[in-house]
Amino acid sequence: MRGNERVELRSRTREAHQRVDAAVGTLSTLEDYRRYVAHVLPFRVTMDEALRNVSWPEGWNWQPSAVAELLAQDARDLGVPPVRHEQPDFDLSDPSALLGALYVVEGSSLGARVLRQRALKLGLDETFGARHLVSMASDTTRWPSFLSLLEGTPNYDLGRSVVAANAVFALALSCFESTSLAAS
């Protein structure tokens, strides 16, 4: 039934989200936070690029937020070296798959509100080290506007959307579980 798309996506990606959440951890030290930045950077760079290369469905007057640049600036603030991109193995040419991927990318702004609080405790903010989190967490209009798109897209296929959402979570997890840590 239309209107339940978000509820379904949330419940069918819950396990993947929990694994990402556990991989990020509590960010209680600056070193933890640097490691988080080193690992989230390739995820966001890869996703921003994948989304830039998608041919946008007709009639969608909505664009995803690009945070890779702010994140790269945070990495420079913290002395985290540049990272190589990952190779995404999903196809976002189908609108339902694209919506599933966007659900993950945009939904991460909700979690950013929690991470921003943790970063603040480490003395990081929109001027140094936590630019991407402050930007993601402050934009409160994007998420509802994304949900309108999700709920209003005709011929939506939940199955395809869930597969893409879980593939994007798997990409995030592979970035967070990567053993290549930032050099000091």
Shortest reach from residue 159's CB to ligand HEM, in Å = 18
Using CB under 6 A, pick the residue from 42, 95, 107, 129 that binds ligand HEM.
107
Nearer residue to ligand HEM within complex by CB, 40 or 83: 40
Alpha-carbon span 87 to 75, nearest angstrom: 21
- Binding to ligand HEM by residue 88, rule CB under 6 A? no
Question: Can residue 110 be called a binding residue for ligand HEM (CB under 6 A)?
Answer: yes
Shortest Cβ 47–ligand HEM spacing (Å): 9
Contact 160, 96 (CB under 8 A): yes
Q: Is 22 in the site for ligand HEM (CB under 6 A)?
A: no
Please report how close the Cβ of residue 26 comes to ligand HEM at its closest, in angstroms: 8
Contact, 103 vs 124, CB < 8 A?
A: no
| CA 150, chain centre distance (Å) | 17
For residue 47, give the nearest of 33, 68, 63 by alpha carbon. Answer: 68
State the binding string over 47-76 for ligand HEM (x if CB under 6 A, else -).
Answer: ------------------------------
Among positions 37, 40, 72, 137, the unique one binding ligand HEM when judged by CB under 6 A? 40
Residue 15 within binding range of ligand HEM, rule CB under 6 A:
no
| Binding range to ligand HEM, per CB under 6 A, among 89-97, 104-112, 127-135, 156-164 | 104-112
A 10 A CB-CB count for 94 gives 15
33 three-state secondary structure: helix
Q: Decide: residue 69, CB within 10 A, 0-12 exposed, 13-18 middle, 19+ buried.
A: middle
Q: Residues binding ligand HEM: what is the number (CB under 6 A)?
A: 17
6 binds ligand HEM (CB under 6 A): yes
Q: How far is CA 7 from CA 1, 39, 77, 94, in A?
A: 11, 28, 37, 21
Cβ atoms within 10 Å, residue 51: 18
Binding site for ligand HEM (CB under 6 A): 6, 10, 17, 20-21, 24, 40, 43, 103-104, 107-108, 110-111, 114-115, 172
